[in-house]
Structure 1
Amino acid sequence: MATDVPTAHYPDWARELGEKYLTKTISTFLLHGDVRDVIRTTNPDTGAPTYVPLSRFLTDDLFAARDLIVQYDRSSGLHFPDKDSQRDFNRAVSGYDSIFGTDYQRKLPKEPTRVFALLENYFRLRLSKGKRMACIIDYAETIVPMAEAAMYSAEDRQALVYLQKWARDPLLLDHDFTLCLVTENLTDLNQQLVQSPHTAEIQVPIPDDTARADYARWYIGDRTNAYAEHAEMPPDTLADSTSGLNLTQLRTILADVLENKNALTFERLSDLRKDFIEAEAYGMLEFVDTDFSLDDVAGHREAKTHLRQAARALRANRPDVMPMGYLICGPVGCGKTFLIRCFAGEIGIPMVKLKNFRSQWQGVTEGNLEKILNLLEAMTPVAVMIDEADAALGNRNAQGDSGVSQRVFSQIVSFMSNPKHRGRVLFFLMTARPDLMPVDLKRQGRAEEHLALFYPHTREDREELLQIMMQRTGVSLSIDDVPDLLLTGDRTFSGADMEAIMTRASFRGAAEGTEVTPEILETTVQDFIPPTYPQEIELQTLAAVLECTSKALLPEPYRSMERAEVVQRVEALKHQI
């Protein structure tokens, strides 16, 4: 990279690449992240900002001082950004054909091993003559994919050897030569190459608010009046409201306003943003939309108090006082998911649900998770809900899946413990069996705050929960008409049980052509058998007691129980079950 080329207008990742290159210890760079977006640069003729694809930014700007540039991908094969590079390469191919008896001058190969053999000869010839060179290999994951060694074909092995050899070749390191491998997900590449000390990973991040605002103003240009006529928000507000989107997606929104003359309201912008992010995440992220608030949650007073305090801190822009994450535990049907959905209605930041990102194909699971984590980092501030966390997040000690669970676990815990994510990416891990979760996920610095939820233990709690369930199911009875069995505590009913009872009572009433009467409800309650197993419920309850990090969240009699007594009972239940 020529030192006389101004770099002030370069993005941070390009300056990082330049600094590492100038050490003369690394010539192979792995570009990953938002590599399919446009990059801001400067028009060489006018000095005005402009935006170009990554490939053009590399060839026309970052490597503009190079004498020769070669580009390659499996689909297009070898291609060149300018005619001089093309002509020079054709001359070298002519000599290669005469020496090795090939016929590449008539038709260039596309297979990686043949291409790399041709390129190695070309690199050595031109570098020995003092030429400055760059080589850009796009869709690198199709050439050296992530896979177990036993799954590699002979072609894959040869391609990997070429790239590893070039990364440490003294001739390439001593001359003005740069090799860039471009891929969206770093985990899609062979990990021997990624982890090699002779390569450097350079992440191209999803644009931040400032970058999106600059692009919006550039794209709108002198059409400010036309934009203002159809959009409710100014460009800066548009940029603030589109976190997680790249510039290409932002352009789609702006073009719809300026070219199609469609109105852009805050509601439509929110819908578009959700659609873009969910599509970018391949459907593995789902926005949590809710019309509820914590006022709609019955019982759980201490947990609601804590979450309301957290909501106030977030609205006051105090991420520094927030825990890195929450572990929400309790027996099935106690309202864990509903509580966090209601919290999403109060915090003023988006909440997404992490869906199943695992795949049966080698390396795809890790790539899916990398994309999700990159999106979450770009969407900050954001809350993330992970249901059944004990099964979803894997385990450092898992066996039998070629190490996938171990790698997934490592990615998750590394992301969760990053200090810059405190209060910016807020995890809610929900499980009925916190005892099955690895300690690494539950320790301080990750899921720091453990909130335990329980079935209602007082008549007041049961009445409050029952009234909410009657409202939700449309049962119009007063609390005095409710059977005592639901309120005395002689039998334990979860919120899910109460909702099921009200639904069954409504079904009986509809069958008889009437509203739910006290008699119908009484009959339904007497007939109802909860589809649960008492020992498993007790185990889940006591596991939540052991996991809880606040005495105030524990109802009696659990608050006064000796911990050793709880541990002993939990172990006994595990053996029985």
Structure 2
Amino acid sequence: MTTKARKSSKADPLLDLPRWAQKLAQKYYTKTVCTFLLYGAVRDLQPITQADGSRGFGTLKTFLSEELFGGRDHVIFYDRSSGIRAAAPETQKDLQRAMAGYDALYGTDYAKSLPRDPGRALQILENFLRLRLGEGKSMALIIDFAETLVPGGEMSHLSSEDRFVVATLDKWAHDPQFLANDISVVLLAENLSDISPRIARNPYVAPIELPLPLEEERLDYVRSKLEGKRLQSISDVPLAALAKMTAGLSRINLDRVLTEALEREVRITPELLKEKKKELIQAECHGLLEFIEPAHTLDAVAGHAKAKEMLRAAANALKKGRNEVMPMGYLISGPVGTGKTFLVSCFAGEIGIPVVKFLNFRSQWQGVTEANLERIFTLLKALWPVAVMVDEADTFLGNRDSGGDSGTSSRVFGSIASFMGNTQYRGKIVWFLMTARPDLLPIDLKRQGRAEEHLALFYPSTDAERDELFQVMQKKTGVSVDVPSFSALLPEQASQFSGADIEAVMVRAKFRALTAGREQVTEEDLKAVMADFVPPSYPMEIELQNLVAVQECTSRELLPEPFRSLERDSITRRVRELKMLLEEQ
């Protein structure tokens, strides 16, 4: 492969290239493919060698034309916006001469102005490529914004021009002349799912993902950016910590943070870095993910002693870097109001890793949902270690049998299930699927190898547990009231108070005190609210949610005593009865 790196005196010239470029070069050397589809962080900066031999960074197209294909006779760029352009003046002149001959033969006027539309541009490019390949020249054609030329979707839905482009690129991919000569056709796109399956899944096309920079690559970029400057003059965060804390940022995003610090003298602090990172990544995700800042550790969780013990053990394993013993994910089930979301947030706070929550990534437009999901997966791989929170997982993630949308939902479900089950991410991406109805969650997601540990949470069943929960809710709501025992204030029929119910009571008590012109909540306020408060009552729904949580729980110690002794057969029968009764309602 004619690259700058190949001219190096090193035993293996590919070692100087990024990993993705090494993969491309290795595939090129097999002589079985000449078309490459680069997707992912194609808008990020890449390491390049400057004219003076020093190391710098430039765009991907600069890297391809100067580093990877620097020794080619001709390197040409094409996209819908800019049209056909040559990387070097010599190639541009040669292209003009070839177009003059083309004009004389076909009566066109392309030597003066090259067309930009794909229909004519690809015909011109093919003519030029074949002409120079016949002379033994080495070539590279880089096509940017490939999704605008070969968009995803069914062939029958494409325009005639788009179908022509798909057919042309498909033909080039397995053309004997192209495969036998020194030519590379490189397509660039941000999302693989945006590209027509006829190209993306073509056995003669090599798809290669460009990931976001790893920690050592971010460290290398920061050193290059700050060359000749002292980091301490602009940052409270040491160099190694800065590279570690910017996981999930591209080099361009990292450049924004450093440039702001250098030019506007905005000092980099851990708090600023965290906020900037959150802002930049959420902007990159276009609202597909929400960052949740853990404000508490597991010490803030009332009750659920065994669940906390299991999560603390997992947190210790992560802190020690023992990813191989970590579950791929957790299924957190239990009735509404038992604090499932709060428990997961506190687990993340226990080990200091970022927590992201899936937002609505689905779209009514064909191909957009798959592209959104691909963008999310790319970010998660760059962010690790990261906890991924999926609330109402039974309805949010769908299933394999979803229909009525040309198979999009089933494909999305398959992609999520496959990503969750990739053991390469064990201990790096920890999934938390939360639901009050785990029986509705497809078995594909809750089997071993995906959501492996099933934790069940229940309402406090003893006075001690209710009093502990009351103490926690005082901290959460900011309502401080001195009572001997909260449980003693509960009416007999309200013994199944959830954490959400207790929080609602305390907020009402605060409101009552403010209405009376007082800041301090008294025991009388609490008693008055308790006497008036009627929590929503859904006895059959709550019983069903309790029983299906018992069914799913993978640890007997997590179950309260009344449930621990129940026979599985009797639970199954009662669940069926409750479902039938609820359907009748």
TM-score normalized by the length of structure 1:
0.95
1:417-453 CA-partner distances (Å, limit 9, x unpaired): 2222111111111111111111111111111111111
Structure 1 residues 489, 468: CA separation in 2 closer, same or farther (over 3 Å shift)?
A: farther
1:63 aligns with 2:69: yes
Report if aligned partners of 2:467, 2:485 keep a CA contact under 8 Å in 1.
no
* SS at 1:8 equivalent: helix
- Please say which of residues 463-472 and 374-383 is displaced more in the overlay: 463-472
Within the candidate set 550, 562, 566, 1:561 is matched to 566
1:348 aligns with 2:356: no
1:328-375 CA-partner distances (Å, limit 9, x unpaired): 111111110111122222112222222221122211111111111111
- Please say which of residues 420-429 and 531-540 is displaced more in the overlay: 531-540
Indicate the residue corresponding to 1:504 in structure 2.
Answer: 508
* Residues in 2 aligned to 1:107 and 1:485: alpha-carbon distance in whole angstroms: 86
1:253 aligns with 2:257: yes
Shift of 1:464: 1.4
Report if aligned partners of 2:42, 2:60 keep a CA contact under 8 Å in 1.
yes
1:74 aligns with 2:62: no
* Residues in 1 aligned to 2:237 and 2:349: alpha-carbon distance in whole angstroms: 23
Shift of 1:47: 2.9
* Residues in 2 aligned to 1:308 and 1:152: alpha-carbon distance in whole angstroms: 53
Indicate the residue corresponding to 2:19 in structure 1.
Answer: 12
Matches within 5 A, 1:175-574: 175-224=181-230, 227-480=231-484, 482=486, 484=488, 486=490, 491-514=495-518, 516-574=521-579
* Residues in 2 aligned to 1:21 and 1:441: alpha-carbon distance in whole angstroms: 38
How large is the Cα RMSD of the aligned pairs?
1.9
Shift of 1:519: 4.4
Indicate the residue corresponding to 2:31 in structure 1.
Answer: 24
Report if aligned partners of 1:288, 1:344 keep a CA contact under 8 Å in 2.
no
* Residues in 2 aligned to 1:246 and 1:513: alpha-carbon distance in whole angstroms: 53
* Residues in 1 aligned to 2:49 and 2:577: alpha-carbon distance in whole angstroms: 70
* Residues in 1 aligned to 2:389 and 2:260: alpha-carbon distance in whole angstroms: 32
Shift of 1:473: 3.5
* Residues in 2 aligned to 1:531 and 1:362: alpha-carbon distance in whole angstroms: 41
Report if aligned partners of 1:467, 1:479 keep a CA contact under 8 Å in 2.
no
Matches within 5 A, 1:36-55: 36-43=43-50, 45-55=51-61
Shift of 1:99: 3.0
Indicate the residue corresponding to 1:141 in structure 2.
Answer: 147
Which one-letter code corresponds to 2:572 in the other structure? V
Shift of 1:576: 2.0
Structure 1 residues 441, 429: CA separation in 2 closer, same or farther (over 3 Å shift)?
A: same
Structure 1 residues 566, 452: CA separation in 2 closer, same or farther (over 3 Å shift)?
A: same
Consecutive unaligned residues of structure 1, counting only runs of 5 or more, are none
Which one-letter code corresponds to 2:89 in the other structure? K
Consecutive unaligned residues of structure 2, counting only runs of 5 or more, are 8-12
Which one-letter code corresponds to 2:532 in the other structure? D
1:206-244 CA-partner distances (Å, limit 9, x unpaired): 1111111111112211223xx322212332221122111
* SS at 1:557 equivalent: helix
* Residues in 2 aligned to 1:55 and 1:566: alpha-carbon distance in whole angstroms: 62
Indicate the residue corresponding to 1:2 in structure 2.
Answer: 2
Which one-letter code corresponds to 1:565 in the other structure? S
Which one-letter code corresponds to 1:551 in the other structure? R
Report if aligned partners of 1:350, 1:382 keep a CA contact under 8 Å in 2.
yes
1:73-125 CA-partner distances (Å, limit 9, x unpaired): 11111111111111122222223233333332232211112211222222222
Shift of 1:198: 0.9
* SS at 2:16 equivalent: coil
Report if aligned partners of 1:441, 1:447 keep a CA contact under 8 Å in 2.
yes
* Residues in 2 aligned to 1:230 and 1:397: alpha-carbon distance in whole angstroms: 54
* SS at 1:426 equivalent: strand
- Please say which of residues 133-142 and 510-519 is displaced more in the overlay: 510-519
Which one-letter code corresponds to 2:364 in the other structure? Q
Report if aligned partners of 1:462, 1:486 keep a CA contact under 8 Å in 2.
no
Within the candidate set 166, 175, 180, 1:174 is matched to 180
Structure 1 residues 442, 110: CA separation in 2 closer, same or farther (over 3 Å shift)?
A: same
Report if aligned partners of 1:482, 1:521 keep a CA contact under 8 Å in 2.
no
Shift of 1:325: 0.8
* Residues in 2 aligned to 1:477 and 1:228: alpha-carbon distance in whole angstroms: 47
Report if aligned partners of 1:315, 1:348 keep a CA contact under 8 Å in 2.
no
Matches within 5 A, 1:111-130: 111-130=117-136
* SS at 2:378 equivalent: helix
1:449-482 CA-partner distances (Å, limit 9, x unpaired): 1111111111211121123224434444444464
Structure 1 residues 406, 261: CA separation in 2 closer, same or farther (over 3 Å shift)?
A: same
- Please say which of residues 89-98 and 270-279 is displaced more in the overlay: 89-98
Identity across matched positions, percent:
51
* SS at 1:440 equivalent: helix
* Residues in 2 aligned to 1:247 and 1:276: alpha-carbon distance in whole angstroms: 12
Shift of 1:510: 2.8
Shift of 1:487: 7.0
Report if aligned partners of 2:467, 2:486 keep a CA contact under 8 Å in 1.
no
* Residues in 1 aligned to 2:517 and 2:360: alpha-carbon distance in whole angstroms: 43
